[in-house]
Amino acid sequence: MGTPGPWNVYAACDVTLTGIMAVKSERSGGVPQTVPDFRDPAVRELCRNDDFRQEHFDPKAIFPADHGADAEEFCPLMLALEGEVTRFRRIFDGAKVFANFTDAASRLAILNALVEARKALPKWEEHLAAAKRLIAAYPEAPAAFALKGMLSLAEPEASRFSGDAMKQELDRLEEAFASVPGTK
């Protein structure tokens, strides 16, 4: 046998049961729930016949039943936005602390993210427009809330800038980075 891993069945239960008990608490109007410790055989036995099941969200309900074909782009769009939002967040957050970095590797990581963002601008524009179209078409649908939430992760910067404005903002950041002593 090798070295035991950092997780075992009980550690996994600790994490999982915490979430399950939070849902049970929410479903019971906020009544606190005890998180069982399955290391204790008596506790395991008390929970053996607990058949609580969380209501599952029907992914088909993310749009109204009468949605158009445009709704089919939601999943690939969310996947693309996740990567783009992360990239822009890295740049905008990195810009706030760039001058504080003294090591070349940290500065280079931010500069590389800037280069990647420039390359991705056309796709960002396309995806931002598609997200705004879906939000406008289905403003009360769970999909609209999910898209707004995803875009908010890039706020306030990325979704504020589109087209030439985003290019200008990236240019401005590049100039700001270049003006920091020790950056070439």
Which sign does the torsion angle of CA 48, 53, 54, 57 carry? positive
pTM reported for the whole predicted model: 0.62
Which of helix, strand or coil describes residue 108?
helix
- What are 8-39's pLDDT values in tens digits? 899 999 999 999 999 999 989 999 999 999 99
Query: Is residue 110 within 8 Å of residue 91, measured between CB atoms?
Result: yes
Note if the bond before 6 is cis, omega within 30 degrees: no
- pLDDT tens, residue by residue, 128-160: 889 999 999 999 999 999 999 888 887 666 555
